[in-house]
Structure 1
Amino acid sequence: EKMSTELACQSRETEKLILVNEKVSTENRALKREIELFKQTEKELAKRNHSYLRTIRTLLTKLKAAGAERPEADIPEIDEDPNSEVLELYRTKVTTLESTLKATEEELVAAEQQRDEASKELKMVLDLHDEVVRTIDVCV
């Protein structure tokens, strides 16, 4: 009776760990997808930013060549830094997501280890239960 109770308890614990494992795995896949989307967005924004910078440089060159009436001091300098604020925000978000993903992966590994330990304990309990049943059968 005590063995049956222990077996039932171990089974419930194993089921809980399996559910946690599935949840963490699903979350892990979702975070990986989200990171990929952010990386794609970052690349697209970098291309767009580069294109805009080229257009602005071309327009400034044309403006200078046309002998605009405005002095050159009024023409703004183009920021050569490709890291615009938007890109920096996305990079920060990607970094945050990557750290969250790493933490989730660590939780997944821990949950898998707990599941394996619970499975070993369950197997041990089942083996003991079988041994007790065989002993009782021999005695009867």
Structure 2
Amino acid sequence: MPNIKQCAAFCCRNTTKDGVSLHSFPSNYSRRWIEAVNKGPDWKPRKTHRLCSDHFPEGSFVNNGLGTKLKLGAEPVPKAARKVIGEVDVKEEIAEEEILYEDSISIHMRADNNEENIKQELDDPLSIQTRADNIEENIKQELEDPLSSK
């Protein structure tokens, strides 16, 4: 039985029999290639891995008479961006996705920092006691002078 190559992207089983072209990963591939595969940021392509033409915007290909080849510097785009028609619209969609990606990283970093701060406070009973004392002092002040809190 012949070895049929298929697209390496998660949940994409396209082969050349499906009317798509398969493209090798360039030696200097960008993170866009890894994101298009959607198998996690640590996934690394092998020489046999291919990405099908469904993962590239229109205008990324040239037909040299022997088959469909990627243009030099062509990059895959997120699935949502592939549905947008026109190169400008695709670039805008990619930019929006990059912003969302960077925002999610920022949120994760803040959550990690908060988790680390909580762990440190739990390891330091004096810190917890100091916070409790401050809260108690604030309550006492509000009870003595209810107008001071307004």
TM-score w.r.t. the length of structure 2 is: 0.32
Instruction: Give the structure with the higher percent strand.
Output: 2
Higher relative contact order (CA 8 A, sep 6+): 1
Larger radius of gyration: 1
TM-score w.r.t. the length of structure 1 is: 0.34
